Structure 1
């Protein structure tokens, strides 16, 4: 076994590892939509689509300030 074979095996296993990590991260993103505080940030993706002056806000504002 020479260095070319070792590089080929290393490349193959690195590619498989990165594919598994990428798909597990995508799965994590779609199953855990809320963070630890319970905020769903996917609602904010509509801000780019609904940006007219007459559209309703994504999150209604209350009269008191948050700390």
Structure 2
């Protein structure tokens, strides 16, 4: 799932956890309680980085690992 800022995304449909890896970091972030539709829309977004900024970053609790 290449994009300008997101290099990889994984989603757990059972828990609603979204894991995102960013090109500028070896770490990844885990976002909690993300609806499946948000993940699916991320995959098809023209700009994954922009979609992330608008629809995910400040809306869901996260932890950096």
Q: Looking at secondary structure, tell me which structure has more helix per residue.
A: 1
How would you bin the TM-score normalised by the shorter chain?
under 0.3
Length-normalised TM-score, structure 2: 0.26
Q: Looking at secondary structure, tell me which structure has more strand per residue.
A: 2
